[in-house]
Amino acid sequence: MNNNDSFEAVIGLEVHSQLLTKTKMFCSCPNIFGMEPNTAVCPVCLALPGALPVINFEGVKLAVKAALALNIGVNRKSLFARKNYFYPDLPKGYQISQYLDPVSSNGYLNIETDRGEKKIRINRLHIEEDAGKLIHIGNQSYVDLNRAGTPLVEIVSEPDINTASEAAAYLKALREILVYLGVSDGNMEEGSFRCDANVSVRRKGDPQLGTRAEVKNVNSFKFVEKAIEYEIERQIDVVLSGGKVIQETRLYDSKENITRSMRGKEEAHDYRYFEEPDLPPLILSEEFISEVKNSLTELPGVKRGRYVSEYKLTEYDAEVLTQDKDIAHYFEVLIKENGGRVEIKKLANWIINELLSELKAREGEGRSLIKAGDFLELITAVESGSINRNTGKIVLAEMLSSGKKAGEVIKEKNLAQVSDDKGIEEIIKQAIDENRKEFADLIGGKDKLFGFFVGEAMKKTKGKANPKKVNEILQKNIENYKSGRS
Amino acid sequence: MTDDLYRLTIGELGVLLKNKEATSKDILNSYIKRIKEADPKVSAYLYNDFEEAERNAEAADKIIASGGGFSPLTGIPLSIKDIFLIKGKKTTCASKILDNFISPYDSTVVRKLKENNYVFLGKTNLDEFAMGSSTENSAYKTTRNPYDLNRVPGGSSGGSAASVSADLCAGSFGTDTGGSVRQPAALCGVVGLKPTYGLISRYGIIAFSSSLDQAGVLSKDVTDAAIMLGAVAGFDEKDQTTRRFEVKDYAGIVKKADKSLMKGLRVGIPVEFFSEGLDPEIGSKISEIKALLKELGAYIVDISLPDTKYSVADYYIIATSEASSNLERYDGIRYGYRYKEEDGNGMQNLDGLYRKSREAGFGNEVKRRIILGTFALSAGYYDAYYKKASLVRKLIIKNYKDAFGKVDVIIGPTSPTPAFLIGEKTADPLSMYLSDIYTISVNLAYLPGLSMPVGTVKNPSKQGGVLPVGLQVISPWATEDRLLSFAKIIEDEVKFRENAGFRKLDI
Ligand SMILES: [Zn+2]
């Protein structure tokens, strides 16, 4: 808790997000997680002598997509640069990144805070390659270069964030956009979405920024907030006890919920950035940018707003429907094909209450949605009363499993609701004949036996009887009896 | 069958093969005999692979016999500078750090040579990582100049130049970062062509300085240079710095080159290429060529390339900066030399492994350049060195652009001196660096340049001996056709190869 009110924190976030490309950023090795160590490698990503990088335009496309969605200006010309340092997981001894002239700069992202919407400015988004991984077993270290050369974007915010919860809100919004666009899988635990936080504190009103510490190794949303909270408190304590915050890199320890200083040696890096001479400048044509622009889907926040205002859904329903891009799309197709016959609110309920829970039960089986037209046929069957809602659920499950149409399932399983008056009349008569005593009691005032007869009628029709009709006709029978006409 | 097939050019051998007057196997046998005889004196090769050569020659002969797929390099034995990767073959770059490195893939140049069914004779010596102008920086051996075995062949493609000069191959592929093809070609009396940056793929060539490196050819005459260039030039999707230049029929164009083309041609002579430091005898050889060109009807135009006086300094900042980064991959982790604990003490941790492996793996000149380049790129010095050098490079490019507004080609000496003695400059790196004073600016400006032998000077240390003199020709960006045609006309007049007074080898 930032309990000292005379201080404010200034936070900037650097997010690294892997890109969901088929191949690595500068070679044609597959970009897949979980292969046998050192099997997704080639001369380029192993940094063999003489190998040269080749730009993967699928990666550029995803980076530009993210930039456009984050309102960041896309630069028509950008440069790749080398960041030089030695480490066994970095085969070339340098990382290809962008330094001066990144692919995209100057943008913003709006986040929700306790005090309303807040604009967080984004300094830049640039493309770079990931390093490999070191695996330590006993006192031996092994290098796995499958991840070496996989594409990343680094997104650097301006220090516009003032609290740990704002930081979390920013990260959540950023992640949501990247996942929604298919740019990233946003998996923090697996390291495909990583965040470093630059944190400093100053007395409120002080125009001067305090010295910042960089907090690394924060690998879940929960920890981002905790790590930043801890760091703010630590720095306030340092200042209050008369000390000075030093510029350093600190690692977050989630077990003890503290940040720890890394050894000073790591600080002395001079990366000797210079323009990558193996790659020409990255020139993006207007056609390329507008092609990416056209492929952008409506972002979840905007979509949510539209569902509430245009479709009159509740905030909650809109939120559920927009969480998954495919589901939102399905909902919209459903609305279009429905053409106003069934209320939109009812369509939303069918998805939220029935379809999503069926899909959830099938998780892991590989999702395949039924055609919107088939789903509408089912919804219409229920809403018009030709089958009841419970039968509808059974039909839906069968449709999802077999891929059959609603009509086929209903016919095959003989599930059509009995709603013709004559058929129900007969069944009720049968039930009365078989249960004369109970019927006499009902007439005699034992109202709760009404349910008993409804149940009997449903039993006889194996649940296919339209309950509304059963109620009506049973009621009619009681009245007729009372008035002595039966 | 005549025993001295090895003396012939690629063009001449091609005619014999085509007319079935000789087989590739005959030609190869002639070279094997010559190599066994002469290479122990010259030491041009790091290794030969005669078994591979025999397989290649047999395959070529089959193709020739079948009458299909014949190209001008089919069945021709060539040597390759040990900086090109060849699948399954050792590639050391003349460095201990790549001792026993077997390449798992082919460079694009070698892939194209294989598609042409060439015959691989072996890998030639060079200065370690192509850093040097005498081939004395090789970690393995000292190559000698075929004109005087006590003198250097130049560098860094010294092994390639010597192998062509001593007829140890029909032609050789080298690389030129600051003059590494042209200067040794000049010192060994052969033709050396460095094409426009981006014309030949760098994929699979061990990088020294990425923005300056370019593969080149060393040949017995201009026609061969055109043939060799045509076989390997062109865009490569594996090297994004290659350009989609139109690859012309250079050999066909050269064949048609006629002295009438000289009429009215504007030939630029840069005043900066005749400054102090130029051996006066070389200066007078170049003057003879000037006179010859005038006779043929060309206009001689004095021009100035004012900023080329900075080119050596500029080059040693840009090239060493890029090299310091390009050579970071030699870290002892994945391949190549790794320091072992039993080799000595001091490797307690990762830093120790890096330090010891690189300390023992790299030679002194390579270390000197890594240190220079690391300094030039480091925080606080970047602006004063690397950034400024990049700006100076732009000035040099502009100098050439302005000059080519006034002239069609530029000529001058390739090297300020003829071949120097082994050991003469090793203690003075600066004087060694000046060996490339006339060639370096061509790389900085991405232009094509060629060196051709135009005569000899007396060898001061050897009674009756001579040393070759190279003429450098520079033409505008991507005008190799013009460059080669111009050189061919001069070659036809000078007749260097045919002149017994010029070709006085020390073997
Ligand atoms: Zn790869």
Residue that terminates a domain, selected from B251, B281, B301: B251
DSSP notation for B92-109: -TT-GGGTTPBPSS--HH
Residue that terminates a domain, selected from B365, B390, B415: B390
Cβ-based contacts under 8 A for chains A and B: 96
Side chain identity, residue B378: S
User: Residues of B near A (CB-CB distance < 8 A)?
Assistant: 84-85, 91, 93, 98, 101, 103-105, 107, 202-207, 209-211, 237-241, 321-322, 324-325, 327-329, 331, 333-335, 350, 354, 374, 377-379, 382, 386
For B354, list phi and psi in degrees, rounded to 5: -60, -50
Domain shared by B58 and B124, yes or no: yes
Q: What CATH number is associated with residue B72?
A: 3.90.1300.10
Domain shared by B119 and B34, yes or no: yes
Distances (CA, A) of A347 to A320, A331, A342: 13, 8, 7
Contact between B301 and B267 under an 8 Å Cβ cutoff? The reply is yes
- B212: in domain: yes
Domain shared by B246 and B344, yes or no: no
Domain shared by B315 and B244, yes or no: no
With contacts defined as CB-CB under 8 Å, which chain A residues touch B205? 50
**Nearest CA distance, B436 vs chain A (angstrom):** 22
Domain shared by B334 and B223, yes or no: no
Domain shared by B237 and B320, yes or no: no
Record: contact B209-A277, CB cut-off 8 A = yes
Domain shared by B18 and B144, yes or no: yes
Q: Which domain holds residue B335?
A: 309-390
Record: contact B203-A52, CB cut-off 8 A = yes
pLDDT higher than threshold 60 for residue A234:
yes
Residues ≥6 apart with Cβ < 8 Å to A387: A381, A395, A410, A415, A416, A417, A464
DSSP notation for A161-178: B-SHHHHHHHHHHHHHHH
In this predicted structure, what is the pLDDT of residue A421?
72
User: For B25-30, which contacts have Cβ atoms below 8 Å and span 24 or more sequence positions?
Assistant: B25/B54, B25/B57, B25/B58, B25/B61, B26/B1, B27/B57, B27/B75, B27/B76, B27/B77, B27/B119, B27/B170, B28/B53, B28/B54, B28/B57, B28/B77, B28/B119, B30/B3, B30/B4, B30/B5, B30/B6
CA gap B38, B45 in Å, rounded: 11
With contacts defined as CB-CB under 8 Å, which chain A residues touch B103? 48-50
Domain shared by B76 and B153, yes or no: yes
Instruction: Look over chain A and give the mean of its residue pLDDT values, rounded to a whole number.
Output: 89
ipTM: 0.96
Rounded to the nearest whole angstrom, what is the distance from the C-alpha of residue A153 to the centroid of ligand 1?
18
**Nearest CA distance, A313 vs chain B (angstrom):** 52
SS3 A421: helix
Nearest to A54 among B237, B328, B329 (CB): B237
Record: contact A54-B238, CB cut-off 8 A = yes
A54 pLDDT band, cuts 50/70/90, is: very high
pLDDT digits (tens, 9 = 90+) for A320-371: 998 888 888 889 889 988 888 889 999 999 999 988 888 888 876 665 778 8
Domains of chain A: 4-288 (no CATH), 298-412 (no CATH), 421-482 (1.10.10.410)
Q: Which of residues 267-326 of A touch B (CB under 8 A)?
A: 270, 272-274, 277-280
Q: Which of residues 212-241 of A touch B (CB under 8 A)?
A: none
Residue that terminates a domain, selected from B211, B236, B251: B251
* Chain A residue with Cα closest to B328: A93
- B409: in domain: no
Instruction: Look over chain B and give the mean of its residue pLDDT values, rounded to a whole number.
Output: 96
Record: contact B240-A53, CB cut-off 8 A = yes
The tokens for A451 are 């349910």
B191-194 and B266-270 as β-strands: parallel, antiparallel, unpaired? unpaired
A394 pLDDT band, cuts 50/70/90, is: confident
pLDDT digits (tens, 9 = 90+) for B304-318: 999 999 999 999 999
Record: contact B202-A93, CB cut-off 8 A = no
Domain shared by B33 and B139, yes or no: yes
- B100: in domain: yes
- B435: in domain: no
The verdict on A38 touching B (C-beta cutoff 8 Å) is no
With contacts defined as CB-CB under 8 Å, which chain A residues touch B105? 43, 48
Domain shared by B363 and B223, yes or no: no
**How many domains are contained in chain B?**
2
- B506: in domain: no
pLDDT higher than threshold 80 for residue A265:
no
Catalytic positions of B: 81, 156, 180
The verdict on A51 touching B (C-beta cutoff 8 Å) is yes
- B91: in domain: yes
Give percent of chain B above pLDDT 90: 91
pLDDT digits (tens, 9 = 90+) for B418-460: 999 999 999 988 889 989 999 999 999 999 999 999 999 999 9
Radius of gyration, CA atoms only, chain B: 22
Distances (CA, A) of B482 to A168, B194, B251: 65, 14, 12
Domain shared by B213 and B317, yes or no: no
- Return the minimum-mean-pLDDT range out of A89-103, A219-233, A327-341, B142-156: A327-341
- B301: in domain: no
- B362: in domain: yes
